[in-house]
Structures are given as C-alpha cells and as structure tokens.
Structure 1
Amino acid sequence: MDTIVGYLNNMFASLPRTEQMHKLKQELLGNMEEKYHELKDDGKSENEAVGIVISEFGNIDELISELGIGEVRKEELVPMLTEMETEEFIAAKRRSGLLIGLGTGLLMVGAGLLILIASLGENGFMSSVFSEDAMSMIGLGFLLVLLVPAIAMFIYSGMQMEKYKYLESGFHLPYHLKADIQQRQSGFAATYMLSLITGVCLIVLSPIAIFVASAFGEESASYGVVVLLAIVAVAVFLFVYYGNIRGAYQMLLKTGDFSKEKKEEDRVIGAVASIVWPLVTCVFLVSGFVYDQWHINWIVFPVTGILFGVFSSAYNILKGKDAA
C-alpha cells in the first residue's frame, strides 16, 4: 500500500497544491485503497494488487478529464499549506515579534538614557570631569549605540518574514490544520488578553513616575520621564510580541486584522502612521536638543497616540457606514 501512496504523491508533485487538487488526491487515494483491498481479498499478491491498481487508474491528465475537473482557474492557483509550513510561519512570526519588540524597547531605553545623562549633566553630576554639553553628547552616544542593534533587528525580522509574502496572494488550509489552528488560537486568547491588560495598565500608570519624581523638585521631573519610558518600553514589548503571535493565527485563519475589509483599513491607517510618527519623533528631538525641553516634550507621544487612536476609530466608523 505504501507503493500506491508514493505513486500518488509523485502524480500530484508537479501540480499546484490547491484545495481542489487536495480533494481530488484524497478521493483517488480512497478509490485506490478500496480497489487494493478488493484485490487482496481475491487472493492477489502484494505486487499483483499494486500493479493492477496503478495500471487501472492511469495518468493524472486522464483522471482530471474523466472526473470533469477541467482546467484549474487562475484564482485557484494558490498553495495548500502543509503542517510544516504553518508551524514554520507561526514560529517566524513569534521570532519577528520578539525582535521588533526588543528593537523598539532598545530605542525607548536609548531615549531614556539620553534624557537621564543629559539631566545628570544639568544637575552637576561629574561636573569636574564632563561639561554639561559633554554629558549630553555621551547620552546621545548611548542612544546611537542602542539604535544600531535595534535597526539590525528590524531589518533581520523583515528579511525573515519576506519569504512568507506569497501568503498575501492567497492560500488554502486543509480542514484538519484549520481546526487545529482555531483550537490553538482559542487557547492563546487568555494569554493575549492578559498581555493586553498588563500593557494598558502599565501605560496608564506610567505617568505616576513623573508625579513622584516631581515631588522631589522640578529638576527631578526628567528622572520620572526616564522611568516612564522604561515602563512604556515593557508595555510596547508585550503589545508587539503577543500581538504578532495573535496575528499569525489570524492571518492563517483570515480573520480579524487579516480579513479583506480590515486589510483595506490597515493600508490607509498604516500610510498615515508612516508619516505621523516620524514627524512626532523629529518634534521630540528638535524640542529637546534645540529648545532644551526634555522635561515636557515627552508629552507629544501620548498626545499623538490618543489623537491617532481617535483618527483610526473615526476612519473605521466611516468605512463601516460606507459599506452599509
């Protein structure tokens, strides 16, 4: 029987792995198994039964024609994912989330170190060794040093996910794989919800660090900003890492953020975000280096985040009305 299975695999090896072909292959395998067992019951030897089965079922072109399958339509020429491919994709998304989360965290830690060292310089720390400007340059150096591995993580993550770009053009999942991924997604839901709640609570509570630091004097407020950035870095890591895992399940199941409607919304929102956030970062750096407003310029990030959230929600509502 293994010979028949191997023969059938070879027959379909050169054909597109579509859902239609998968069903045809399973149907043929069932028919061939039935014929094989009939021949064995009739007293045929293993080799005789295998030879008769293979000779009777002919080649794949004849079978497709006889079964009325016809030509495979262009839109159906999408791959049927295997279990190994889905596992590799989920693992790649998990690694990507880890790298992007760590890279983003490094950037925020770098910004925190810049503010911390610059503030120490303003308050006379090591004034006998370094001037205030020198301390600012040291802080900038730390930021640039952390920027390098962060960028490397972003680039490496993007390169790793590049080989899965073909999934955006469409794919099929066998029923058993789809059921397994749905079950795993349900099991992961509690973990994702916990990470989301933890991240939101950290962000909401993070300004407390500034209030506490301010209680020790106005010059101490910048130290609170450093703590705030560190807390937000942890929250962002939780959002990115666990969000990527959830995104892998959603993409494979074509639900949530990866439904057709959501993809269109994300393209517009993503385009706006790619313009807004770099501008906000420029405002943050210019106001700090040029106008020395490190103690208050951090406010641009939460304010922009709130405004961007309002924009995203308004856009989604308007799109929903248009669709209705």
Structure 2
Amino acid sequence: METIMVYLDNMFAGLPRTPEVERMKQELLSGMEDKYLELKQEGRSENEAVGIVISEFGNIEELMAELGIQPDDMQEIVPTLTEEEAHAYIAAKRSAGFWTGLGVWLSAIGVAFMILINTLFESLGSSTEQDSLGIGSVLGMSGLFVLVAIAVGMFIYSGMKLGRFDYIEKEFQLPRTLLMTLQRSKASFALTYRVALITGVCLCILSPVFVFAGAYLNDTYAVYGTSALLATAGIGVFLFIYYGNIQGAYTKLLEYQHLNAAKREEARVERAVGAIVWPLATAFFLFTGFVYQRWDINWAIFPIVGILSGSFSNVYHLVKDKKSS
C-alpha cells in the first residue's frame, strides 16, 4: 500500500490544491485500497497487486479532463522526500545540534576557565604577585582561545553536515505513510523535549545562585561562583540547542511544507536576523568581560537578546499582517 500512496501523492503533486482535487484524491485512494485488498485475497503477490491497481486507475491526463483542469493550470511539481532523506535530515539536525551546543558550552567553559585561573593565581603570595598575575593571565587567555577555537571548529562542522539539505528549505511534500510515521515520532519525543526545555530553563535561572552564595562568603568565592554560573548556564544552553534542533527538524518536515511563500520568507528573515544578532551578542559579552571585567552580570546579555528576538518575530508578523490587510 505504501507504493500506491507514494504513486498517488506524486500523481497529484502538480495539480492545484483545491477542494475538488482533494476530494478526487481521497476517492481514488479509497478505490485503490479496495482493489488492492481484493487482489490480495485472490492470491496475487504484492508486486502484481500494486501493478494492476496503478494500471487500472487512469492517469494524470484523465484526471485533468475529469476535473476540468487545463495544462496551464498545472503547478510546478513539488519534490517528494523519501523516508531515507527524512531520517537522514533528522539525524543531521541531531548531530549538528550536539556539536553546536557542545561548542557553545566549551566557549562558556573557556571564559570560566580564564576567570578561575586568574583568580587562583591572584590568591598567591604577595612576593610573587606580579609574576603570578602574568602567568595567570597567559594561562587563562591561552585556555580560553584554545577552547573557543575548538568550538568554532564544531560550529563549522555542524554547518557542513546540514549543507547538503539546503533543498529542504524549499517546498516539498511527504508520502502519507512517512507523514504518519514522523507524526508518531514527534509525539513520542514531545515529553523528552519538554523535560529538556524545563531543565535548561531551571539551570539558567538557578545559575546565579553560585554567585550570590560566593558573595555571601567573600569576594574570592564570588568570582568562583561566576565560573560555576557560566558552566551551569552553558549546560542549559546546550539542552536548548540540542533538543531544540531535533524538535526543529520534526517541525520543518511536518509543518514547513504547508507554509506558503510569504510564511517561508518570514522564516528566512527571522533566521537571517538571528545569524547576525547572536554573534553580536557574543562579541558584546566578551568585550564587556575583558574590558570591564563584568563577568558577574554580563551573562544576562543572552536572555535579554532571546527576549528581544522573540519580540522582533512578533512585531515582524504584525507589520506583515497589517501590510497584507
């Protein structure tokens, strides 16, 4: 039956998506299913039953004539994703999310390592204070740049893994059986995604507790608390990116294909803005940290940017809706 469904989806891919066409498609599917089951009861093999059903139920020209559709009304044929392509895309998104999330966490660990090393060397005896500060700065900066370099490599690698799926950004369709399979997979993943999201939010919200607890003891422990804050918040961000990528893959396959050209353009604009805003936020985070030594509070840049990104999305949709009305 899967072969018949795929054949029917491809057969109707170029026809206008009108209620009449959808009704005809459902009637054909019902008739094909009945004929297929009848042939199977007669003892026909799978291939024989499928071949007879496909050959007996007309062709695209007959359908167009019955529906009164002229060749000029035909839409551009939308490619159909295979099961292998869909699962390969989900696997690539999962892998890209892992490496991107790990890269973000390593970047946070790099900053935490630099702060920790500088603080440890500052706590050495006063007789060697100048040498300790110099060694601590060199070791801290070296560790930071090494970890950031590794993180950048992970970002590039994750982007390369998704590069071969650029065609999914365009319009496509899914066979009925694959659509149902992906819907079940997304439903079973929903609980995992919610738990990961809640855990990540809790980690980000609770991470400043390390700073407050350290400040309660003394200033030195407050700096250690900042390192713990970055490491903990980094884990939360990793959860957002990793599980968000998997959820995004299901959303893209199940929902993106139904968006019209305007909606797809909105999605592209939002991604383009995000690609600019988040690197700028990271650069501002590092600048305020290195120049003004405000690692204790500049972590708030990222949640603020997240809120502003969501606000931009809402405002953009309102402006587009107002222009179209």
TM-score between the two structures when normalised by the length of structure 1: 0.74
Q: Alpha-carbon deviations, 1:80-101, whole Å to 9, x = none?
A: 1122211111111111111111
Match runs of 1:1-324 below 5 Å: 19=13, 30=32, 63-68=59-64, 75-124=75-124, 127=128, 130-254=131-255, 266-289=267-290, 291=291, 293-294=292-293, 296-303=294-301, 305-306=303-304, 308-310=306-308, 312-313=310-311, 315-316=313-314, 319-320=317-318, 323=321
Change (3 A) 1:153 1:125: farther
Alpha-carbon separation, structure 2, partners of 1:118 and 1:259: 54
Q: What CA deviation, in whole Å up to 9, does each residue of 1:255-308 have, x standing for no partner?
A: 69x88776555544444444444444334433443x4x43x3442231452254
Check the 8 A contact 1:107/1:150 in 2, yes or no. yes
Matched-pair contact (CA < 8 Å) for 1:114–1:143:
yes
Three-state SS of the structure 1 residue aligned to 2:185 is helix
CA contact (8 A) 1:17 1:78 kept: no
SS where residue 124 of structure 1 aligns? coil
Offset at 1:211?
A: 1.0
**Cα offset for 1:171?**
0.7
Q: Deviations over 1:41-63 (max 9, x none)?
A: 9xxxx9xx99x979xx69xxx94
Gapped regions of structure 2 (runs ≥ 5)? 16-24
Report the CA distance between 1:68 and its aligned residue: 3.2
Gaps in structure 1 of 5+ consecutive residues: none
Aligned partners of 1:265 and 1:316 also within 8 Å: no
- Matched position secondary structure for 1:78: coil
* TM-score (normalizing by structure 2): 0.74
Q: Secondary structure at the match of 2:172?
A: coil
Q: 1:155 to 1:17 in 2, by over 3 A?
A: farther
Q: 2: CA distance between counterparts of 1:53 and 1:270? A: 47
SS in 2 for 1:215: helix
Q: Secondary structure at the match of 1:131?
A: helix
Identity, % of aligned positions: 36
In structure 2, C-alpha distance between the alignment counterparts of 1:201 and 1:90, rounded to whole Å: 27
Q: Counterparts of 2:301 and 2:64 in 1: how far apart (Å)?
A: 61
Stretches of 4+ aligned residues off by more than 6 angstroms: 258-262
- Give, in whole Å, the separation in 2 of the partners of 1:90 and 1:118: 42
Compare CA radii of gyration and give the structure with the larger one.
1
Native 8 Å contact 2:13 2:77 kept in 1: no
CA RMSD of aligned residues (A): 4.3
Q: Is the 8 A contact 1:117 1:135 kept in 2?
A: yes
- Shift of the 146–307 alpha-carbon distance from structure 1 to 2, 3 Å rule, reads closer
Letter in 2 for 1:285: L
Match of 2:217, SS?
A: coil
Alignment partners' CA distance in 2, 1:191 and 1:124: 46
**Alpha-carbon shift at residue 230 of structure 1 (Å):** 0.6
- Separation of aligned partners in 1, 2:312 and 2:152: 32
**Distance 1:268-1:208 versus aligned 2 partners, 3 A rule:** same
Alpha-carbon distance in 2 for matches of 1:311, 1:205: 22
